[in-house]
Structure 1
């Protein structure tokens, strides 16, 4: 009998819930995902072993153990689950069922750690560092009693192999846990999980195709890479043909991403660990930045960083130390394939108008006609911030559609959302209308030719000359009057505040002089 999505999700959550006595919900993922992945590997390995035995029963009597093993691992198994503590009284396979049989014995955490490390070592091309730091296997972090309870609860999850459940169900269960952990862990969730509807919107706009490469320089749990493959599959295309690449600064999160990809049956991927801005790991043979067809990202906002001193990615200028937002954009631009590269990134509105070095970078990007669109999103969409954000869409130099060259498309989708429990949510209709607006045709004044084709969103294609006249300010309210009427132009408000502040300071200085001349002292400047 096929396993239902609800059944596997419910039982996986029961296993996760055993951790409530030991750690905050924000840390559940570091334990549950490695255990879930280990159980999946073990169940799948055992299923393939039984397939081998059933299909080769007539041959096995005439084969040595070594010959039988060679055939099994050549034709049936795609990874190895080795033996741990070989040559000792503790020798056993590093499989889920083997270690589960020892849960009443002391040292469970050590055996689990030894098993996971042995699997990584035995399969370096596939599983190197996939289980993360495994600090939770230490008794002082997670007691043997709690770990045993988690494993026993997870063992009640039906066998997770291809004969019992599809990769759609398995991957869906993984995604369910990601979202459940994120809903319960507050702002920390933003470090590894982007709401799936935001991911879907970016991927729909960038429209990856069969055999293309997709890259996320801040990949978190890998959701944007998986969404790219899922989009192709939903359209009847071949998502498995995508070549997926990512880099993630946190080793444990990178492991979550790798496991996520495997469980979605996506094996053509490379996820590296490291700081993308300081040490980009994906490069060409000559040492230059690797280039891809599609680049997607939701990087950490306004991240303090150590600016580059000399780097070819720094077009225009170097982003300020206080905010790496434009540095991520510069990296993504450098990563675009020159013939058909396109990139989509979610960033705070400050990137649209901030001055200084960021204004110089913005000017260079616009002068080179790299920015195609700015899509204003609602506030409170994300787990780690309530501020409104925007999607910036870039195209490699000279690859924008002729009618969009030397212009930027502005879409105000800031009012399109549904209220959720902890945050606002983009509905399927919101996403569809925004994508429709993105694909609009425009007249000579930059207005949509079909005013009903934009899903009711305010849309305008503004010529670059107009943006230049506005000092390269990309505030959506400057180009879409509806947005300006509904919400004061933040850039204008900041300018007005600075003027008022300067006037106030002048008035205070005059007052202090008058008071001092009158012999009245004691006021602090």
Structure 2
């Protein structure tokens, strides 16, 4: 059975179990019951074959310092265990004591699993409701059928990750929650991972060397899992450390459970707010992938973020974005946590490309990234590929040590038309990025050549100096001979009093006539001023004290293709034909009325 078929079958089966909750729970509560039960069933399926050995080890080493090590060894080397004589199947043998037995069974998990289960806070009150409504036995029984066997021999770790994410997406969509907050389409993750490892020097090392991967908004761990799978396909002996931080308790718990079962270090997945409580502060990573939330305000984190921005060793010293959108804070988090030889891929919507005037927080963030030559490429993705938004989205590729040919340069790739329509929409997701499109995008990136879909720029091409143009309060009093002089270096002729009451000194500017110009960094400001301003305002001058450098990336402008209007004669013929058809329709209508 194919990967997609297995995931669909298991997800459909578990989704159908939620039907047993009808009447006892409201639809928005279904996920609070089914997700933790699925996690527990996964642990149960993994541990069931070694249950006799674990019980024997528990009996032999109980109350000794060797107990934990002996129990782990009895599982065949897993980092978790359960010392209860019950399994999901054996729980059903005693229906009368199902609730206390189930609680005892959950309490018998190793401490690392119990900490995960504690994150499913609503589940434990729901357990009592299920018993009261006489549905607990029915629900658990559904999980013990052969189709619900979640042992890794039947459902791989990769498939289980897909199933968890599919369930979260379905439960979120069922009651109009933001599914996309926790779920990134797999083809998007695969594209990001392929781009990160597109260069020959990106292959992880063998042996004792470890490759570190980090996601500051990791959700259920989908990006980490796909990156892990990709690396192990390239090098099965590569040592990996997967790290992430997640705010939502339930998705954090799913991610930690997935890591435990795969044999990864679950403690490297942290629970908490990345913006206000960076649990990996000061650490750097080889690879970073993330799809942080779009348009999420950071008002609650304002004090902590501003305090960190004031520190030279903080993530946010370059600048702060609008309080209404935190995604550029995650962009700076990726930059701060990237090793000098590392690579990052982070999804952003269109606003980080251009919002904010020169000197503003967003412009200063772009300036820091561009002037330090951290931005490698930006890829425009097709619209309608995410579940919760149809807006334009982009992958930012960051690299602190670019290959020689790419240094000082930035590649923009327009992949907006590389998609295929879905047969059936899922929320806002109407399009998919097929494997052939992923291959084409990666080819464009590695070719690093100009084409209709690929443009290459020097870093300075995105910069400009915003200059302030002043004009005198009384144009008639201005001295044309000194109109282009700097306000701080006005010639003596212009300083001479020409009107009663005016004192010598700087020319007096009229704020109502003030204007600004954005001068490309590559241009000489005085030459630009002489060419673009003085012919139209000979009395103007530049107030250099107000000049500011800004950066923006007008992505769509670079790929705009002019479509000439249709000839007037052609339009006239078309309009005439429409008029004739309309007249015929009206004549037929009135003829029918008569």
* TM-score range normalised by the length of the shorter chain: 0.7 to 0.9
Root-mean-square deviation over aligned CA pairs: 3.4
Change (3 A) 1:458 1:184: farther
- Which of 282, 297, 305 pairs up with 1:304? 297
Q: Could you tell me how far 1:74 is from its partner in structure 2?
A: 5.4
The answer to whether structure 1 residue 155 and structure 2 residue 144 are counterparts is yes
Whether the 8 Å contact between 2:39 and 2:254 is mirrored in structure 1 is no
Change (3 A) 1:27 1:95: same
The answer to whether structure 1 residue 14 and structure 2 residue 16 are counterparts is yes
Between the aligned partners of 1:480 and 1:189, the Cα distance in structure 2 is 32
Between the aligned partners of 2:154 and 2:438, the Cα distance in structure 1 is 34
CA radius of gyration, larger in = 2
Match of 1:463 in 2: 458
Change (3 A) 1:186 1:437: farther
1:409-430, CA deviations, whole angstroms, 9 ceiling, x for partnerless residues?
Answer: 1011112222231212211122
Matches within 5 A, 1:442-521: 442=449, 447-448=450-451, 458-469=453-464, 471-482=550-561
Match of 1:80 in 2: 81
Match of 2:111 in 1: 123
Matches within 5 A, 1:209-358: 209-210=203-204, 211-233=210-232, 235-238=233-236, 241-267=239-265, 270-283=268-281, 289-305=282-298, 306=302, 307-309=305-307, 310-311=310-311, 312-338=314-340, 340-355=341-356, 356-358=360-362
Q: Could you tell me how far 1:155 is from its partner in structure 2?
A: 1.2
Change (3 A) 1:201 1:303: same
Matches within 5 A, 1:86-97: 93=85, 95-97=87-89
The DSSP-based 3-state class of the residue aligned with 1:213 is strand
The answer to whether structure 1 residue 395 and structure 2 residue 396 are counterparts is no
Change (3 A) 1:28 1:224: farther
Change (3 A) 1:418 1:142: farther
Change (3 A) 1:345 1:67: closer
- Which of 380, 387, 396 pairs up with 2:384? 380
The DSSP-based 3-state class of the residue aligned with 2:339 is coil
Between the aligned partners of 2:230 and 2:185, the Cα distance in structure 1 is 16
The DSSP-based 3-state class of the residue aligned with 1:411 is strand
Match of 1:371 in 2: 375
Between the aligned partners of 1:187 and 1:159, the Cα distance in structure 2 is 29
The DSSP-based 3-state class of the residue aligned with 2:394 is strand
Q: Could you tell me how far 1:216 is from its partner in structure 2?
A: 0.4
The DSSP-based 3-state class of the residue aligned with 1:281 is coil
Whether the 8 Å contact between 1:369 and 1:405 is mirrored in structure 2 is yes
Work out the number of aligned pairs and report it. 442
The DSSP-based 3-state class of the residue aligned with 1:382 is coil
TM-score with structure 2 length normalisation?
0.66
Structure 1: runs of 5+ lacking an equivalent: 54-59, 84-92, 284-288, 449-456, 487-525
The answer to whether structure 1 residue 205 and structure 2 residue 192 are counterparts is no
Q: Could you tell me how far 1:72 is from its partner in structure 2?
A: 6.0
The answer to whether structure 1 residue 31 and structure 2 residue 33 are counterparts is yes
Whether the 8 Å contact between 1:116 and 1:131 is mirrored in structure 2 is no
Structure 2: runs of 5+ lacking an equivalent: 205-209, 465-519, 521-549, 565-594
Change (3 A) 1:175 1:193: closer
Match of 2:492 in 1: none
Whether the 8 Å contact between 2:43 and 2:261 is mirrored in structure 1 is no
Match of 2:416 in 1: 414
Whether the 8 Å contact between 2:36 and 2:123 is mirrored in structure 1 is no
Q: Could you tell me how far 1:258 is from its partner in structure 2?
A: 1.4
